[in-house]
């Protein structure tokens, strides 16, 4: 045989040998393998799609065995298709499980946010209650302090409110000019009113029955004006003071005796409550 023919036969033998050792290949098997690899790489695969993964691997092995045993390509492709469908079903389960986990986590976060908001609301409500209690306690303490101070001024409760009575020792007989001895009483009254600026007063002048009505009305008004002016010059707001002359119309004792007439010659300070209201609703315009 010609040497060239021998070379050709040898080359053909090598090609036939190479074809015999090269494993068969199928694109559908490659696609199934890719899907299975994607599924198996997901952390949720064993939890959510273990059965699908096992089935996909089994069908892939069947397809590979069919290809290796030279079964019809239709059989190989069908087995590879089934393997891929199992892998895709597993991926769908994984995605659904992840969505459920995300939803559960979102709901948990929402619940935590709501609980935190409710806790803040409860704390705010508790803080408000405590603040209200503290305010009530402070108000009660202020009221008790004011009552104590009024008691020190020898104020007495009446149907007109708390009243401090200043006797006629503030004035000379028949006069409306304050005597030096009135300073102590007016200083104490002014100090109280400046500490309690919400309190208003009515300064009422009263006389005994000696003299005419016109005389006593004028004298009582001048004496009330003198006391009001004395308080205002000591820093009491003029808008919080009203001076009224009551004349001889409201005696507290008989006018038939010197002692009784002395009791009737007086100046009374009527106090409002802590909100500036009087028991009988009397208005207190600005002092003129």
Query: What is the structure's pLDDT at 147?
Result: 66
For 172-224, the pLDDT digits (tens) are 778 888 888 888 999 999 999 999 999 999 999 999 999 999 999 999 999 99
| Nearest residue to 30 (alpha-carbon basis) of 4, 60, 6, 52 | 60
Return the pLDDT at 164: 94
Per-residue model confidence (pLDDT) at position 167: 82
CB crowding 128-150: b at 16 or more within 10 Å, else e? eeeeeeeeeeeeeeeeeebeeeb
Which letter does DSSP use for residue 240 in this model?
G
Please give the DSSP secondary-structure letter assigned to residue 178.
B
pLDDT (tens digit per residue) in 131-164: 888 888 876 776 677 667 776 778 899 998 999 9
What DSSP character marks residue 272?
-
Placement of tokens 């101070």 in the chain: 149
Whether the full predicted model's pTM is greater than 0.75, yes or no, is no
Model confidence pLDDT, tens digit, residues 30-48: 999 999 999 999 999 999 9
Instruction: Please indicate whether residue 174 or residue 273 has the higher confidence score (pLDDT).
Output: 273
Range 227-247 average pLDDT: 95
């Amino acid at each position: 045989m010609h040497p060239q023919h021998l070379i050709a036969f040898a080359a053909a033998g090598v090609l036939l040998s190479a074809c015999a050792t090269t494993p068969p290949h199928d694109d559908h098997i490659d696609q199934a393998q890719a899907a299975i690899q994607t599924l198996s790489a997901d952390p949720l695969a064993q939890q959510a799609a273990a059965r699908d993964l096992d089935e996909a691997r089994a069908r892939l092995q069947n397809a590979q065995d069919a290809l290796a045993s030279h079964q019809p390509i239709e059989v190989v492709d069908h087995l590879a298709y089934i393997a891929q469908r199992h892998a895709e079903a597993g991926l769908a389960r994984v995605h659904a499980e992840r969505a459920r986990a995300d939803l559960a986590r979102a709901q948990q976060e929402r619940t935590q946010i709501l609980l935190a908001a409710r806790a803040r609301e409860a704390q705010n409500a508790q803080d408000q209650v405590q603040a209200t209690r503290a305010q009530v306690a402070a108000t009660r303490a202020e009221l008790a302090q004011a009552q104590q101070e009024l008691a020190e001024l020898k104020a007495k409760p009446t149907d007109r409110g708390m009243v401090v009575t200043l006797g006629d020792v503030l004035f000379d007989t028949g006069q409306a000019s304050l005597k030096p001895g009135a300073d102590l009483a007016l200083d104490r009254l002014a100090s109280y009113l400046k500490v309690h600026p919400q309190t208003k007063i009515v300064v009422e002048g009263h006389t005994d029955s000696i003299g005419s009505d016109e005389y006593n009305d004028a004298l009582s008004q001048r004496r009330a004006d003198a006391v009001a002016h004395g308080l205002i010059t000591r820093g009491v707001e003029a808008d919080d003071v009203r001076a009224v002359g009551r004349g001889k119309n409201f005696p507290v004792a008989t006018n038939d005796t010197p002692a009784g007439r002395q009791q009737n010659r007086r100046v009374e300070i009527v106090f409002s409550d802590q909100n500036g209201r009087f028991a009988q609703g009397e208005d207190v315009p600005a002092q003129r």
